[in-house]
Amino acid sequence: MENVFVILVGSILVNNFIMSRFLGICPFLGVSKQLGTAVGMGMAVTFVMALASMFTYMVQRWLLEPLGLGFLQTISFILVIAVLVQVVEMMIKKLSYGLYKALGVYLPLISTNCAVLGVALLNMTENYSLLESVMNGVGGALGFTLAITLFAGLRERFELTDMPKWMHGFTGALITAGLMSVAFLGFQGFIR
Amino acid sequence: MKLGKTFGHGILGENPIFRQMLGICPALAVSTTVFDGLGMGIATTFVLVFSNLATSLLRKIIPEAIRIPSLALVIAAFVTVVQLVAEAFVPALHQSLGIFIPLIAVNCIIFGRAEGFAFRNSPLQSVVDGLGMGLGFTLSLALLAAFREVLGNGTFLGAQVMPASFEPMAIFISPPGGFIMLGLLLAAINLIVRKLEKRAAAKV
């Protein structure tokens, strides 16, 4: 159990997906102009990443490895994630229309979010068990949500400040992200 | 469109990293050394060219409705080829790029070009577009990596270039340095582009 907790804290803070692993930067820069949408995206990603961690683990360990098809990893993971996103979208639409309205726009975007494929591949290279993989997925996604929410808060303030002209747009966003990343660097050495 | 124009677009006008802001994840993650940056650039170019070619050849067969999953599979197949080739012939690169080789499959540039360009253009045009975009990506990556490696480590392609008295600024090879350096380079490029546009406007 101790190990699971370490993985969870590790993937939320120490090895934050955006701030130190550089996974999921596209949605991080693209969907962080408003606090509300950032939180919505974070929730959708959390949902998909937890499920993706579970299903890719099953596919890899119970299907590809026994059959000696390890080289099909990339293709099958992409397929699993694409199908998963589609199924999740349909399920949410049927079960809770309110949630669908809130998350719907972000779901298709998630299939090309490299954090989802990234976490699946990391689980395999780190040799995590099923429970550890899911925890890594949940932790990574919560870390993503934390970073994107904080960043959206900062960017909302940006709109009101008088910045030099060359800092407008992506330039300012990248430098702010860099400074935020310095803060996350402070967690290094938190575990091991 | 003329072939030369298609090719040049990817390098300057629509440079994937500096003009379209696509493919930022690999750009930040593997630009700590010029060697990694170039390796990543070449691998991405390979996938871009071949996925563009395959998409363009198959564009009349693939039904519109399932084009996204089909393209994803085409791209993933070529990424697997790169992965296996890199593992067999350049194990050092395979080791240092790690999961970012399989992640080429979700690089938005590749998907964007396959869906946005190759799906509507002839095979030759698509290959040239892939080459241009790939070269633009490789050059941007190498530029970013050159600044980071020289300032952060005092070396260029592994060879010492800064005098011995130079204290390497480790921040530039750490994650925050990646964000900040890309931001500064983007600002510089925006300034140059704006100057050029002004000059062009003055001439007319």
Query: Cα angle vertex A96, ends A91, A97, to 5°?
Result: 100
ipTM for the complex shown:
0.83
Q: Do A117 and B190 touch (CB under 8 A)?
A: no
Structure-token pair, residue A54: 């579970």
Phi, psi of A163 (to 5 degrees): -100, 155
pLDDT at residue A26 tops 90 = no
Range B191-200 contact pairs with CB under 8 angstroms and sequence separation of 24 or more: B191/A166
pLDDT > 90: what percent of chain A?
28
Q: For residues B196 and B204, what is the distance between their CA atoms, to the nearest angstrom?
A: 13
In chain B the beta strands, taken as DSSP E runs, fall at: 155-156, 159-160
Residue from B17, B24, B75 to probe the interface with A (highest A Cβ count within 10 Å): B24
pLDDT > 70: what percent of chain A?
95
The predicted structure's pLDDT at residue A192: 59
CB B9 within 8 A of CB B132: yes
Please give the model's pTM, rounded to 2 decimal places: 0.87
Give tens-digit pLDDT for A113-132. 788 999 999 999 988 999 99
- Residues in chain A with CB shorter than 8 Å from the CB of B102 are 73-74, 77, 117, 121
Q: Do B176 and A182 touch (CB under 8 A)?
A: yes
Say which residue, B140 or A29, is predicted with more confidence.
Answer: B140
- Which of helix, strand or coil describes residue A24? coil
Chain A touched by B177 (CB under 8 Å): yes
Residue B68's Cβ-count burial label (10 Å; 0-12, 13-18, 19+) is: middle
pLDDT at residue A111 tops 80 = no
Distance between B111 CA and the closest CA of chain A, angstroms: 9
Residue A153's Cβ-count burial label (10 Å; 0-12, 13-18, 19+) is: middle
Distance between A115 CA and the closest CA of chain B, angstroms: 9
Chain A touched by B122 (CB under 8 Å): no
The predicted structure's pLDDT at residue B1: 58
- Residues in chain A with CB shorter than 8 Å from the CB of B29 are 21-23
Q: Do B24 and A26 touch (CB under 8 A)?
A: yes
Chain B touched by A99 (CB under 8 Å): no
Structure-token pair, residue B2: 């003329």
Mean pLDDT by 10 residues, chain B (204 residues): 78 82 85 91 94 93 84 91 92 89 88 88 92 93 92 84 81 88 90 86 79
Q: For residues B176 and B88, what is the distance between their CA atoms, to the nearest angstrom?
A: 33
Around Cβ B56, how many Cβ atoms within 10 Å?
A: 23
Average pLDDT, chain A: 86
Nearest CB partner across the interface for B105, out of A78, A170, A171: A78
The predicted structure's pLDDT at residue B131: 93
CB B179 within 8 A of CB A181: yes
Q: Do A29 and B183 touch (CB under 8 A)?
A: no
- Residues in chain A with CB shorter than 8 Å from the CB of B28 are 22, 25
Residue B60's Cβ-count burial label (10 Å; 0-12, 13-18, 19+) is: exposed
Q: Do A24 and B25 touch (CB under 8 A)?
A: yes
Give tens-digit pLDDT for A34-74. 888 888 888 888 888 999 999 999 999 999 989 988 888 99
- Residues in chain B with CB shorter than 8 Å from the CB of A185 are 174-176
Structure-token pair, residue B44: 């991405």
Structure-token pair, residue B104: 């080429």
Q: For residues A154 and B147, what is the distance between their CA atoms, to the nearest angstrom?
A: 28
Chain B touched by A140 (CB under 8 Å): no
Q: For residues B9 and B13, what is the distance between their CA atoms, to the nearest angstrom?
A: 5
The predicted structure's pLDDT at residue B52: 94
The predicted structure's pLDDT at residue A62: 92
